[in-house]
Amino acid sequence: MAHFKHHVFFCLNQRENGEQCCSDFNADTIYTYMKKKIKGLDLNGPGKIRVNRGGCFDRCHEGPLLVIYPEAVWYRYIDESDIDEIIEKHLINGEVVERLVA
């Protein structure tokens, strides 16, 4: 049995050479938003959802990105409303948000 029902990883990489990276798209702020929202909904913790920082996903041109396991679904997001939709549809109701799949 998995320790978490869902494990969400955010790419929060910052490139030194000036090439595009997820951090260029407010990824850290959106990560913090999702963590607080998950906690506020009492969805965090063992048997529930864990939201983590990740390093480079090596898909920088597609960013900003997050990936949800165990399903291994990759999402591109723009703002907090996209995160709200991912929480509601994917994490709570088990539906892939097709319009955001990367």
Q: How far is CA 6 from CA 26, 58, 66, in A?
A: 23, 22, 12
For the segment 48-62, what is each residue's pLDDT rounded down to a tens digit? 999 999 988 888 788
Residue 92 included in any domain: yes
Q: What is the pLDDT of residue 1?
A: 61
**Percent of the chain whose pLDDT exceeds 70:** 99
Beta strands 65-69 and 49-54 are unpaired
More confident position, 59 or 70? 70
What's the domain count of the chain? 1
Residue 10 included in any domain: yes
The CATH number that applies at residue 59 is 3.40.30.10
For the segment 86-97, what is each residue's pLDDT rounded down to a tens digit? 999 999 999 999
Q: Kindly tell me if the per-residue pLDDT of 39 is higher than 90.
A: yes
